[in-house]
Every structure is written in structure tokens, then in C-alpha cells.
Structure 1
Amino acid sequence: MEIDQLKKQLDSDGHLIDASIWTEAIAQQLAELDALNLTPEHFEILKLVQDLYAETHDTPPMRLLVKQIKIRLGEEKGNSRHLYRLFPEGPVRYASKYAGLPKPAHCM
């Protein structure tokens, strides 16, 4: 999707209005708008955030996300340092954004 088309698909916070159009390519474009290049490590977290959203119909707060990462992906990835290394501006907000999910209610 061209960047101008993509921008029309975003809400005022830069999140997709319609999550059903999400693809990895769109995630990469969203990240590039924020000067971030997504790696397989990022996509691992995005998939987990999508799974948690599908299970709970809500974006997870940081503590729950860290806990679930530790359970599902292992001890070495289940900590806030790892998440901030991947998403320096805010792991929950930006992982949700790139995963095609709404802005978390608990994020400013």
C-alpha cells in the first residue's frame, strides 16, 4: 500500500482504523513512519500482542505483557529492558500500533 493510502487508514493516533487490513508489510510501513525497522524479534512480539488482544479484547498493560512474554517466549525476552530495546518510545503503545490494534486505553 502506498504511504499516502496508508495514512488515510489511520486514526488520529496513527493506529489502523480497520485491523483486518493489517499485514506485515503494513506493520513495517507504520514503523518506518516512526523511523523504526522491524525485525523478526519485533514481529514475534507483535504476534504475541495480537494473540493477547484476541484472547482478552484489550491491549495488555506493560506488566501483563512482560509476564506473558516470559511465559510464551522465555525468560530472556520476558523483561522490560528487552521490550524497550525493541520499542524505545513505549513497548505497549508501539507494539499495539504496529500490530494493527487500537491505541491502548492505559497509554497517554
Structure 2
Amino acid sequence: MPIEVNGKTYETDEEGYLANLNDWNPDLATAMAKADGADLDENHWEVINFLREYYEEYQIAPAVRVLTKAIGKKLGPDKGNSKYLYELFPYGPAKQACKYAGLPKPTGCV
């Protein structure tokens, strides 16, 4: 199901994940969030940018437990916990944040 942003159409799969990872841009992430009724603030962007860096390094989108642990290491224990991440991404921190980050759905996510 395609999504249109700034006059350009982007292909997505049936769950809304980008078909081509190289199409990602911040405006697209913002549009995806708005479609879900969410507004992205600096805390969301911190997680989104972290995920993009993680994916670039490991070529995999982390499952929620791995994400939580890795965020805790990099951003501190106040941000590396499930409660904080679920407040930002109520549909699932790994699943929803990866979608906005233009990454594939994490392994192990239903």
C-alpha cells in the first residue's frame, strides 16, 4: 500500500513497512507517524536514529529485548527500559519504531 509524501509515492508492504530502505527520509517518517495518529518529538527521533545506526552496523532490525538493552547501553537506563519505549511507541517499540525508521519488521515480531 503506497504512501505519498511531498508529491512522491513510496511503496510499502501490507503492514506499511517501506519496500525500499533507501527511500527513507525524515519527512516520510513523520508522515507514517501522523497516519498512526502520532507526532514525533526529539525522544522518538533519538530511538529512530539509533535504530538506523544499529541496522547499518548489523544489517538487522533488533527485536524489542535487544533494542531495550542496546538503547540502555547507549542512552542510559532511564531510556533503556520497556516502559519508556512503550510510552513513545505504544504499538511496540521495535515494530513501530522500525517502521518509522524505514527498516524491515524486526525478526520475532508478530
More strand by share: 2
Equivalent residue number for residue 54 of structure 2: 52
Identity of aligned residues (%): 38
Q: Which amino acid aligns with 1:43?
A: W
**Greater fraction helix:** 1
TM-score (norm 2): 0.89
What are the ranges of 5 or more consecutive residues in structure 2 without an aligned counterpart?
none
Asked if structure 1 preserves the Cα contact closer than 8 Å seen for 2:63 and 2:107, the reply is no
Per-residue Cα deviation, 1:14-60 (whole angstroms, up to 9, x for no partner):
01111112111110001111111111110100011111111111111
Query: Would you say how many aligned residue pairs link Structure 1 and Structure 2?
Result: 106
Counterpart of 1:65? 67
Tell me which of the two structures has the higher relative contact order, counting C-alpha pairs closer than 8 angstroms and 6 or more residues apart: 1
Q: Which amino acid aligns with 1:25?
A: D
* Residue segments in structure 1 that go unaligned for 5+ positions in a row: none
| Residues 1:93 and 2:95 are matched in the alignment | yes
Confirm or deny: 8 A CA contact 1:10 1:17 kept in the other structure: yes
Asked whether the 8 Å contact 1:13–1:103 carries over to 2, the reply is: no
CA-CA distance at 1:5 after TM superposition: 2.3
Measured on the aligned residues, the alpha-carbon RMSD in Å equals 1.5
Report the TM-score, using the length of structure 1 for normalisation: 0.91
